[in-house]
Amino acid sequence: MDTNNRILTCLLLLSAFLMQSCSPVNVSHGDARNASQQQQWLSKAYRYDKNGWIFLHIEGAPFERGFQRGYLTANEIEDFNKTLAYMQEFETSEKLDFFVKAAARLFKDKVSKEYVEEMQGMAAGARAAGKEITYDQMLLMNGFIDIAWYWYPQEKDKIRSGGPGCSAFIAAGDATADGSIVMAHNSWASYAELRFCNIIVDIVPEKGNRILMQTWGPCIYSATDFFITSAGLIGTETTIGAFKGFDAKGTPVFERARKAMQYARDINEWAKILIDKNSGAYANSWLIGDINTGEIARLELGLKYHKLEKKTNGYFTGSNVAEDLKILRKETSATYDDVRNPCVSRRVRWEQLMKDNYGRITAETAKNLLADHYDVYLKKDNRSSRTICGHSELDDGSVPASGKPYSPSGAIDGKVVDSKMAKNWQLWAKWGSSCDRDFNSVDFLTEHPQYSRLKGYLPNLPPRPWTILPADK
């Protein structure tokens, strides 16, 4: 985005703001903010849309940057809130207010003042743009992973269902073509929920590290987890599947993950923040790199157990199967070697791909690997739930352990970064399938009417190009 376009965007936003809000926003954040002050906040922020992505720049004090984000993405926040309500009621029969109250109760006194103010600012910004969003709703939208995937199943004595999959790797040293770090990731889950992960936000906080991250709706942390920090850390993760632990007394993951990005200066500090007062929510295999030292690491974080491994040569991969035996055997019910299972098949395929490309991995290689369709169970190229570029909507379910037939879910994006790009404060991002498959929601629902409840919630995912964000470098 060139300077003239950015100025025009800001002017248009300010004009719209003046039409919608000529009086102070009534918020419970202390003194009411007048329209002039709000305009001054918005003049520092901007948004542009490109190839399916929303790029957002926000900066300043917590409430200020929250207000910027809430105002500039108010439509998306409202849509996220409505979708969360719809999807959770279908899965549980409970109305949104049930989960809003649970979030307020569960997270009380567990969120630092800085992030409370940032979320209050987001809610106020959304209200200034004409959307009825409360702070407690914002709290749920940030903590929906803790609430929906961990707390609720434990409360109801149910096996956790849903949640994202994801595939990822990080490589360095003699594994890459030039010795630098290369990291790649795609996000897996229901397309209806993951459609809100198309935001790349550049956060310049008043204190701490600058952050460039993909984010899920209005989350103050990444949630899909792909990020760069000005301390030189890059990171991603894959969820540990079939996980069973949760401690309601622990600190929510959005607090710990955001604090680690914003304040950690190295891998050890980052891991310490994630581990401290861990609740078990969003148990992940975290992949982290330090572009200053060339070191990469994997933190497998369960509830009772965790393991941090570091190296300067080699790679780590993630496919939703824990490698640490304590976590795998004591905190999950997952299989490790049944290649009919999508997580296991991707684990095996990553090892094949890493070995086949060892010493030659680049950002361009990473893009191609994210588009891989080799099914290790059927031993052939086959778009399905068992491939790195996942397509559950094409899987007929005939292979046991592969999940529901034709589930509208899978890999919805691709992200790649290397050390050079991270130093230049940029990353590669592709919205939609890495293999350029065209997913048309109308055609899909016509062919698979069992999912008709998702009408209006499923996105179209046409082929789009790999895009460098931010684009104005």
Q: Give me the DSSP letters along 409-451.
A: EEE-EEEEEEHHHHHTT-EEEEES-TT---B-HHHHHHH-GGG
Cα separation, 98 vs 103, in Å, equals 9
* pLDDT for the residue 21: 39
Cα separation, 80 vs 113, in Å, equals 24
* pLDDT for the residue 403: 85
Q: What is the mean pLDDT of residues 27-36?
A: 55
* pLDDT for the residue 206: 97
Q: Give me the DSSP letters along 1-60.
A: --HHHHHHHHHHHHHHHHHH-SS-B--SSSSPBPHHHHHHHHTT-EEEEETTEEEEEEEE
Rounded to the nearest integer, the mean pLDDT of the chain is: 92
Cα separation, 345 vs 340, in Å, equals 7
Q: How confident is the model at residue 24 (pLDDT cuts 50, 70, 90)?
A: very low
**pLDDT digits 0-9 by tens, 251-264:** 999 999 999 999 99
Strand partners, 318: 168
- Look at residue 329 and tell me whether its pLDDT is greater than 70: yes
Q: What is the mean pLDDT of residues 407-432?
A: 97
Q: How confident is the model at residue 5 (pLDDT cuts 50, 70, 90)?
A: very low
* pLDDT for the residue 339: 96
In the three-class reduction of DSSP (H, G, I as helix; E, B as strand; rest coil), residue 346 is classed as: helix
Cα separation, 44 vs 163, in Å, equals 35
* pLDDT for the residue 409: 96
Peptide bond into 470 cis (omega under 30): yes
- Per-residue exposure over 184-196, b if at least 16 CB sit within 10 Å of its own CB, e if not: bbbbbbbbbbbbb
Q: What is the mean pLDDT of residues 407-419?
A: 97
- Look at residue 240 and tell me whether its pLDDT is greater than 50: yes
In this structure, what are the phi and psi dihedrals at residue 359, rounded to the nearest 5 degrees? Answer: 85, -5
The answer for residues whose C-beta is within 8 angstroms of residue 471's C-beta and 6 or more apart is: 1, 48, 50, 55
Burial classification of residue 109, based on how many CB atoms lie within 10 Å of its CB (0-12 exposed, 13-18 middle, 19 or more buried): exposed
Q: What is the mean pLDDT of residues 319-324?
A: 96
- Look at residue 20 and tell me whether its pLDDT is greater than 80: no
Q: Indicate the pairing of strand 226-229 with strand 53-60.
A: unpaired
Question: Looking at this protein, which amino acid is placed at residue 84?
Answer: L
* pLDDT for the residue 158: 60
Locate 171 and state its tokens: 């490589």
* pLDDT for the residue 35: 85
Q: How confident is the model at residue 171 (pLDDT cuts 50, 70, 90)?
A: very high
* pLDDT for the residue 473: 55
pTM for the full predicted model: 0.92
Locate 452 and state its tokens: 């008709």
Strands of 127-239 (E only): list them. 167-172, 182-186, 188-190, 199-205, 211-215, 226-229, 233-239
Cα separation, 113 vs 118, in Å, equals 9
Question: Looking at this protein, which amino acid is placed at residue 51?
Answer: N
DSSP state of 343: H
Rounded to 5°, angle at Cα 216 from 79 and 168: 145
* pLDDT for the residue 34: 79
Cα separation, 198 vs 52, in Å, equals 7
Number of Cβ within 10 Å of residue 91's Cβ equals 12
**pLDDT digits 0-9 by tens, 37-63:** 999 999 999 999 999 999 999 999 999
Cα separation, 229 vs 292, in Å, equals 12
**pLDDT digits 0-9 by tens, 121-148:** 999 999 999 999 999 999 999 999 999 9
Cα separation, 290 vs 342, in Å, equals 30
- Look at residue 11 and tell me whether its pLDDT is greater than 50: no
Domains identified in the chain and CATH numbers: 3-43+57-155 (1.10.439), 167-244+275-469 (3.60.60.20)
Q: What is the mean pLDDT of residues 338-343?
A: 96
Locate 167 and state its tokens: 């595939």
